[in-house]
Every structure is written in structure tokens, then in C-alpha cells.
């Protein structure tokens, strides 16, 4: 379970370092430098922890003290080590961007964190196939991760804007406008997650999908992931077509009402579903689809 916990920490911290700055850039919302540094620092710490846990599991030893020889072998002689090396390099660049701050620094953090996030796919099922099919699978896996974490980051950023603005009509009007602008981007992200998810699922389980879903832990977790994703889609549709228009109409009349609170609670539920999916994805990466 230590491996799963380490992978969860990596997914969550990288999602924060990539998705939240991305939405802030798209929305013109400035992120404070200390927050950028904290998010990148957390991603670095979680990645170091994941490497140490992986090294210990391969050596069959305790996490501490570190088996230096095994750690050297993992980094120098395995594809997983290459992925970790690239991730660390990307996160150090991101740390420079976070220290710089401002829009330019946020762009650096976002781009570098995207590279770091892509390396997670190199240690999963998408990296286990060779040839053209393997390249398609790995590409779909990377795009799937980027689109999913961009969606989660957007939920966090927009929720924060709504929370901060709910007592002020002018600020609330700006937050509602941001939510409305995200509608198209959110639809594109959801479609991307669906398409790449179908490709990944087909590459992993193929024609045995029903048998895998029924008879293996991998299939049961995948079913739970699909159910959570369906709930996210339902909530997103409810936001776009019901709650956001209702709140926009109230704000245009100079009212606050309970609309902002209802929308915030619904966004928090959507975020909870997204974070639960990250936990499941981290667990799935340690399992065999047929085991």
C-alpha cells in the first residue's frame, strides 16, 4: 500500500502544480508566488518519496535507510529511472518559475509541471507496449492525464474564486463570468478524457473488457472510476445548464441569494469525485488487468 499511497501523493501534487496554474492563466487570475513554490515543492517531495518507496519495494528492504546501490541502479539502468530523472529536472525548472513568479513564472510552472506529469505515464501500463500500438497507448495515457488534471485544476481555481467572491456582487459577477467562459473548455476537456480513456481501456483490456470488469480487482476499480466520472459529467452538465445561468440571472439583478452557495457545494462534490478518481488511477497503475 506504500506504493499506492506514494503514487496518490504524486498524482495529487502534480495535478495541483499543473492544473491550477493552467486555469489561472486561462482566466487571467494571478497566483501568488508562495503558492506556486509550495505546490512545486510538494510535487518534488512526493516524487522523491515515490522513488524511495519504489526502490525499497524492488530491493525488498525498508524505505529507510535507503539502499544506495539499488537507488543508483533504478535511476541509471531502468526506464522508470529515466522517467524520474526527467520529472526531477522538470520540477527544478518549475521551481525556478515559481521563484520568479508573475505570469511568466506561472507559464514556466505550468509547462514544466505538464512534462513532470507526463512522466507518470511512463511508469504505467501505457509504457509496457512496443511499436506503433505502444506509442499510441502512451500518447493517449499522457493526454488523458493532462486533460483530467486540467479539469480538476479548473474546478479548484473556479471554486476558490466563487468562495472569495460570494459576499460581493461585483466580484461574484466576475466569478460567474469565469465559470461561464470555462464551459467550452470544460466540454473539450471532458471529450478528450472520454476519447483517450476509451483508447486506453481498449489497449489494456481489449475484447475481454466485460470479463475483466466482473472478475478482477482491476475491473472493479475501473468500474468505480467510470461511475465517478459519470457523476462528474452529470454535475458539470448541471452547472453549465442550470446552476450557472440561475446564478448569473440573480447577479444581473444585483442579488446574491443562495445560488453561489449551491454552486460551490456542487463544485466541491465534483472535485471530490475527481480526487477519488486520482486515487483509483494511482491504484490501477500497480495492478495487472488480468490478475
What is the mean predicted confidence (pLDDT) over 19-48?
92
Judge if 136 and 257 occupy the same domain: yes
Lowest mean pLDDT among 5-19, 104-118, 253-267: 253-267
204 pLDDT higher than 90: no
212 pLDDT higher than 80: no
Q: Give the per-residue SS3 of 211-230.
A: HHHHHCHHHHHHHHHHHHHH
128 pLDDT higher than 70: no
Model pLDDT, residue 158: 92
Q: Which of 90, 123, 156 is the last residue of a domain?
A: 123
Model pLDDT, residue 37: 96
Q: How many domains does the chain have?
A: 2
Q: Between 247 and 112, where is the model more confident?
A: 112
Judge if 117 and 178 occupy the same domain: no
Which grid cell is 184? 467550452
Q: Which of 70, 76, 77 is nearest to 53 (CA)?
A: 70
pLDDT tens for residues 166-198? 677 778 888 888 998 898 899 999 999 999 998
Whole domain around residue 23: which residue ranges? 1-123
- Tell me what the pLDDT averaged over the chain comes to: 88
- What's the pLDDT band for 201 if we cut at 50, 70, 90? confident
pLDDT over 70, % of the chain? 92
Judge if 112 and 151 occupy the same domain: no
pTM of the entire predicted model: 0.91
CA angle 219, 122, 45 (to 5 degrees): 100
Q: Between 251 and 259, where is the model more confident?
A: 251
Judge if 224 and 175 occupy the same domain: yes
Q: To which H or E segment does residue 190 belong?
A: helix 169-205
Judge if 230 and 149 occupy the same domain: yes
Judge if 199 and 269 occupy the same domain: yes
Amino acid at each position: 500500500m506504500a506504493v499506492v499511497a506514494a503514487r496518490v501523493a504524486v498524482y495529487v501534487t502534480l495535478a495541483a502544480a499543473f492544473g491550477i496554474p493552467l486555469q489561472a492563466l486561462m482566466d487571467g487570475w494571478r497566483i501568488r508566488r508562495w503558492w506556486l513554490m509550495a505546490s512545486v515543492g510538494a510535487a518534488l517531495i512526493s516524487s522523491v518519496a515515490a522513488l524511495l518507496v519504489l526502490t525499497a519495494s524492488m530491493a525488498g528492504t525498508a524505505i529507510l535507510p535507503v539502499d544506495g546501490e539499488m537507488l543508483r541502479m533504478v535511476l541509471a539502468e531502468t526506464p522508470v529511472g529515466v522517467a524520474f530523472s526527467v520529472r526531477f529536472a522538470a520540477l527544478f525548472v518549475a521551481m525556478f518559475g515559481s521563484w520568479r513568479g508573475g505570469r511568466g513564472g506561472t507559464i514556466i510552472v505550468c509547462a514544466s509541471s505538464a512534462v513532470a506529469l507526463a512522466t507518470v505515464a511512463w511508469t504505467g501500463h501505457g509504457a509496457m507496449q512496443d511499436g506503433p500500438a505502444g506509442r499510441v497507448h502512451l500518447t493517449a495515457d499522457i493526454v488523458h492525464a493532462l486533460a483530467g488534471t486540467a479539469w480538476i485544476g479548473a474546478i479548484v481555481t473556479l471554486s476558490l474564486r466563487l468562495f472569495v467572491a460570494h459576499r460581493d456582487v461585483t466580484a461574484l459577477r466576475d466569478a460567474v463570468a469565469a465559470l461561464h467562459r470555462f464551459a467550452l473548455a470544460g466540454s473539450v476537456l471532458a471529450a478528450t478524457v472520454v476519447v483517450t480513456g476509451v483508447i486506453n481501456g481498449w489497449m489494456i483490456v481489449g475484447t475481454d473488457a466485460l470479463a475483466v470488469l466482473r472478475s478482477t480487482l482491476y475491473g472493479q476499480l475501473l468500474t468505480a472510476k467510470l461511475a465517478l466520472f459519470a457523476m462528474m459529467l452529470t454535475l458539470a452538465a448541471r452547472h453549465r445548464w442550470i446552476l450557472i445561468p440561475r446564478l448569473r440571472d440573480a447577479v444581473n439583478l444585483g442579488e446574491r441569494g443562495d445560488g453561489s452557495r449551491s454552486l460551490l457545494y456542487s463544485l466541491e462534490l465534483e472535485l471530490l469525485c475527481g480526487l477519488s478518481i486520482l486515487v483509483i488511477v494511482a491504484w490501477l497503475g500497480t495492478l495487472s488487468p488480468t490478475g
